[in-house]
Amino acid sequence: MPIAHPAASVRLEGFELRVLHLPLVSPFTTSFGTETVREVIVVRALTADGDGWGEIVTQDAPLYSSEYTQGAWDVAIRWLIPALLERGTAAPEDVAGVLAPFVGHRMAKAGLELAILDAALRAAGRPLGQYLGAVRDRVPSGVSVGIQHDPAALVEVVRSYLDEGYVRIKIKIKPGRDIGDTAAVRDEFGAIPLQVDANSAYTLSDIDTLAELDRFDLLLIEQPLQEDDIVDHATLARHLRTPVCLDESIVSLKAATDALALGAASVVNIKAGRVGGYLEAVRVHDLCRDAGIPVWCGGMLETGIGRAANAALAALPGFTLPGDVSASSRFYHRDIVTEPAVLDDGHVRVPTGPGLGVTIDPVALEAFTVAREIVRR
């Protein structure tokens, strides 16, 4: 369902942007590289109705998507924030339209929209989950496991997450680290809910290798081919028994519509940053729900800000598969909110306080800040 009750406008006074460097508890390796520190942009909307917080989920380098920290920082300060401040007063539902003339930069737009959404909902005393249409008070928690030194090491890392209670395991794969890694996890743990994520590391010429994954009864294979390979994903899907799920390719409601029409995905990963905001994410959810396509909530190693918002989103009725909504401790020793997401019986709670329902820890925020800028009207 579309947003049932729109939020009231807030009177924008400015935005504070910060680049944060958060050390990861362990390196995170995907087909596109290894991260040891999470670089992320935190947004604070300064309004006459109170502050709101958002997160721009870009990474330092444009390897997962074309967006990256310095690009998002520049476009936000040079173009997006001035357009919003020029307007002066904005409801969360207005933000995408105000920013629509600027092509792309969806993660930057999403972070600004979230900050305005948080400010508006806090002012109205409304929780984000309720606003988005959440139907659950907690969401099943999956974990995304990076590529390890070897399959034996992967098995031990997976074991520790299963022991913590995660209800679904996703392992990253790449050419040469696919069949062996998947077999090792399947052989060790039997019929656990298991899926793989290739982050665009393959081409259609790898179809025989990808078909070998069919024997592992995976929940899905996520984004085997490149972002704009919609037709090739449809071709691949016809040759695999494993359901094909798209992540990188689903950059908007339109992209999702086209992918479903072509049969390129039988499952969709929804990330608010990738589609330009939580409101567009709800629209993708609604589309997939109407089409009978299961969705799940992806992650971008969010801080407590984005993690709270993801838990709210993942509580919508079409999110029928466990998402990458892990406990904060899966990535961080110390979060920037005072109530980091925790794992309880394999689930993460949907915050119930106004807006995001989390409180920023100003000391932690300051400790991780490496750059800060304020833009006022």
Cβ(73)–Cβ(84) below 8 Å = no
Site map (CB under 6 A) of ligand OSB, residues 237-256, x = contact: ----------x---------
Would you say 113 or 222 has its CB closer to Mg ion? Answer: 222
Which residues, 58 to 97, sit near ligand OSB by CB under 6 A? 64
Which residues, 118 to 157, sit near ligand OSB by CB under 6 A? 144
* C-alpha to C-alpha distances, 267 to 162, 177, 259, 297, nearest whole angstrom: 24, 23, 10, 11
Please count the residues of this chain forming the interface with ligand OSB, following the rule CB under 6 A. 11
Instruction: Select the residue interacting with ligand OSB from 49, 67, 118, 197 (CB under 6 A).
Output: 197
**Residue 181 in contact with ligand OSB, rule: CB under 6 A:** no
Site map (CB under 6 A) of ligand OSB, residues 259-298, x = contact: ---------------------------------------x
Which of Mg ion, ligand OSB, none sits in contact with 301, Cβ below 5 to 8 A by type?
ligand OSB
The string of DSSP codes covering 231-282 is HHHHHHHHH-SSPEEESTT--SHHHHHHHHHHT--SEEEE-HHHHTSHHHHH
How many helices and strands, by DSSP H and E, does the chain display? Answer: 14, 14
**Residue 9 in contact with ligand OSB, rule: CB under 6 A:** no
Interface region with Mg ion, contact rule CB under 5 A, candidates 16-24, 181-189, 227-235, 242-250 = 242-250
Would you say 15 or 202 has its CB closer to ligand OSB? Answer: 202
The least CB distance from residue 326 to ligand OSB, in Å, is 5
Compute the residue count for the chain. 377
Helical axes 106-124 vs 278-291, angle rounded to 10°: 100
Per the annotation, the verdict on 174 as an active-site residue is: no
Alpha-carbon span 268 to 280, nearest angstrom: 14
Alpha-carbon span 7 to 120, nearest angstrom: 6
Strands 347-349 and 138-140 turn out to be antiparallel
266-295 burial, b at 16+ Cβ within 10 Å, e below that, comes to bbbbbbbbbbbbbbbbbbbbbbbbeeebbb
Would you say 51 or 229 has its CB closer to ligand OSB? Answer: 229
**Residue 326 in contact with ligand OSB, rule: CB under 6 A:** yes
18-31 burial, b at 16+ Cβ within 10 Å, e below that, comes to bbbebebeeebbbb
Q: Which of 170, 172, 174, 254 is catalytic?
A: 172
Instruction: Select the residue interacting with ligand OSB from 127, 299, 318, 355 (CB under 6 A).
Output: 299
**Residue 197 in contact with Mg ion, rule: CB under 5 A:** yes
**Residue 247 in contact with Mg ion, rule: CB under 5 A:** yes
- Element (H or E) spanning 81, and its range? helix 81-87
Query: Would you please indicate which residues are annotated as catalytic (active-site) residues?
Result: 172, 271
Which positions lie near ligand OSB, rule CB under 6 A? 64, 144, 197, 199, 247, 298-301, 324, 326
